[in-house]
Amino acid sequence: MEKNRPVSLKDLAKELGVSISTVSRALKNSPEIGAELKKRIKKLAKERNYRPNPFAMSLLKNSPRIIGILVPDIVTHFYASIISGITDIARANNYSVIISSSYEQYELEKQSLEDFINLRVEGIIACLAQETTDYSHFEELVNQNIPTVFFDRICLTDKFSSVITDNAESAQKATQHLLETGSKRVAFIGGGNHLEIVKQRKHGYLQALREKNIPIEKELVFCKKIGFDYGYEGACKLLSLPQPPDAILAMNDSLAFGAMKAIKKHNLRIPEDVSLIGYTDELHSNYVDPALTSMTHQTYKMGEESCKLLLRHIRGNEKPKHITIPALLTIRESSIKKGD
Amino acid sequence: MEKNRPVSLKDLAKELGVSISTVSRALKNSPEIGAELKKRIKKLAKERNYRPNPFAMSLLKNSPRIIGILVPDIVTHFYASIISGITDIARANNYSVIISSSYEQYELEKQSLEDFINLRVEGIIACLAQETTDYSHFEELVNQNIPTVFFDRICLTDKFSSVITDNAESAQKATQHLLETGSKRVAFIGGGNHLEIVKQRKHGYLQALREKNIPIEKELVFCKKIGFDYGYEGACKLLSLPQPPDAILAMNDSLAFGAMKAIKKHNLRIPEDVSLIGYTDELHSNYVDPALTSMTHQTYKMGEESCKLLLRHIRGNEKPKHITIPALLTIRESSIKKGD
DNA sequence: TTGAAAGCGTTACCAG
DNA sequence: CTGGTAACGCTTTCAA
């Protein structure tokens, strides 16, 4: 029968008739302990299934080896995959992670941060909620001396490290690809213009057009909100133009799938009549027909880098560092016009 | 300037010239403390931003208010959504969660469990890895007195509570729906026959046929492995039969999307020529064309129930309990034949 | 109404 | 080589 309370050093010491210090030292392989005694102690520890009490350790060192992750949600593939990258690196370094979702709400984000501070996490990796425009709750982390790294949606870059994707460059690359594979008139479907990410990707799109000396037409840019329905609406609008586009770059996965549905409803072929590129993860792009050419975020890698960066901050007092991880163009069926 | 070390009761006590016990009591609203003194103590605590040290508390009570979640992975929507349900309930009860992925590997699963025990989590919610066939590492949890709840892939039901979906019933419902909406010959695409989940869903499918006195044809059942490619392969095989089916039930999302691709490649219309039902989450089903009629797992609810169950076990010593959460039929475009 | 002291499990320092 | 003791922050007796 096991006792309810876990075995402690004291228990082992008593049983062997030695002091607690001796047992502690023996289990850490201190060279000061007699070889024979050491062996006996280790044997008993294994027998009794001794496990060091992490609370005592944390109390002593004030470091629970836990880091907090704060994301808008955990269900979106993008975040889930990043979390996956983070936790794998954390685990490899003997850290556990605690995950909290803001559900895009400012109040929940603030509360989560409070919880993390109360828990005394050693560091935090966070992605801002859409609602958040005031960052004072994050500044508090500086006072509390809790290293923090932001990813994707970032802020206070002078104080915190960050990991992001190359929004402008990736949109530019995507547009270039369309122009180089038979498309002449490329349209852009984005989200709300106030979002940094929208501005940057649109900028990359426009940049690619300028490069090729293609005149910019305002009607070919549809920016309203992010979401499947808006992708559908946007594509319908674009395809109803007197001079409709023969290619669409959708800056988000739901927008892209919405646009795809619209193109089909208009009885147009992809990519023959209208090419389409989105930003998606591997899975979804292959599920649809035709398979969707996409810019793919290196999400797992973003997670890994975020965590590595954080661990460096935890270990030493480094200056904020900013990393950009490029998105990759994965060519599938929806972009290359056959006639090419 | 903040000190590096967080404020402790001792600090407050010294500053006010009272004893630690007094401060402790005042902050817990003990009625023994003078109203005026109590007010002063609370005021200072707020000023100094005092936060109780969780390590000291855990050391004292041996309960860190942390529960461990062990899943095959966190990227699959099914698991992510369940985790979401778990964490929300946990948080509402002042618990934090730590998530670990087995990546379907036995060794990693075992290691994660060890980590949880070492961390002294108060309880565990787990879904078995596909590789796992030996359950001794879970039996150890009984010795360690760590309450555990399984979901979806479960084991040792005499010792542990569980939360599952109604595999047989849901497949039966799906098949019934097909038969009631104009389909005559329903085929089934499943995964490896050794998996419990496959057996159960196939059983439900067959049950629905028997109900309607429809003869069972072995050629209409394709069970090989779970995955997009196998869905594609299976559907191709089925549609090449001398008497092909006019409806397919795919027992998994990737199988369903693979089948959908195959049906289209065969230039058949969905649902006019071949109806299709899958098991998916909301999102994916709407992205494809036509939108996929599906059995939808109530994943978030499964998470919630798992966590509630676990909390009951943590609080008192309840007997194992088994909960079944039904999947819901969500009718979209891929199932109802127009002629009906 | 308040204070002192023990104890939770561990490490580290100082003695022997 | 080994043992005793203080310390980490907090709660909880027991005394005053």
Residue ranges of the domains in chain A? 9-52, 64-165+299-325, 167-297
Beta strands (DSSP E) in B74-146 are 96-101, 123-126
Mark yes or no for CB contact B288/A286 under 8 Å: no
In this complex, the residue with its CA at the shortest distance from the C1' of nucleotide D11 is B60
Q: Do domains B9-52 and B64-165+299-325 have the same CATH topology?
A: no
Minimum CA–C1' distance nucleotide for B33: C1
**Which of B79, B267, B249 has its CA nearest to residue B167?**
B249
Minimum CA–C1' distance nucleotide for A58: D8
Mark yes or no for CB contact B97/A101 under 8 Å: no
Low-confidence ranges of chain B (pLDDT < 70): 1-4, 338-340
Residues 6+ apart with CB under 8 A from B1: none
Integer distance in angstroms from CA A60 to C1' D6?
12
Mark yes or no for CB contact A228/B287 under 8 Å: yes
How far is B174 from chain A, CA to nearest CA, in Å?
21
- Report chain D positions within 7 A of protein CB atoms: 1-5, 7-13
Across the interface, which of B101, B120, B145 has its CB nearest the CB of A84?
B101
The whole-angstrom separation of Cα B223 and Cα B210 is 20
State which H helix or E strand residue A303 sits in: helix A299-315
Mean per-residue pLDDT of chain A: 92
The whole-angstrom separation of Cα B31 and Cα A32 is 52
Across the interface, which of B75, B84, B143 has its CB nearest the CB of A2?
B143
Minimum CA–C1' distance nucleotide for B50: D9
Low-confidence ranges of chain A (pLDDT < 70): 1-4, 338-340
The CATH number assigned to the domain with range A64-165+299-325 reads 3.40.50.2300
Which residues on A lie below 8 Å from B2 (Cβ)? 143-145
pLDDT at B4: 65
Integer distance in angstroms from CA B149 to C1' D12?
34
Chain A residues 55 to 74 whose Cβ lies within 7 Å of strand C are 55-57, 59-60
pLDDT at B339: 58
Residues 6+ apart with CB under 8 A from B299: B77, B78, B81, B82, B84, B85, B281
Minimum CA–C1' distance nucleotide for B36: C1
What pTM did the predictor assign?
Answer: 0.91
Mark yes or no for CB contact A97/B96 under 8 Å: no
Q: Count Cβ–Cβ pairs < 8 Å, chain A vs chain B.
A: 120
Residue A300's closest chain B neighbor by CA? B75
The whole-angstrom separation of Cα A247 and Cα A276 is 6
Which residues on A lie below 8 Å from B55 (Cβ)? 55-56, 58-59, 62, 64, 120
The whole-angstrom separation of Cα B189 and Cα B258 is 10
CATH architecture of B9-52: Orthogonal Bundle (1.10)
CATH 3.40.220.10 matches B167-297? no
Mark yes or no for CB contact B2/A96 under 8 Å: no
The whole-angstrom separation of Cα B159 and Cα B52 is 36
pLDDT at A340: 47
| Residues A76, A80, A86: CA angle, nearest 5 degrees | 150
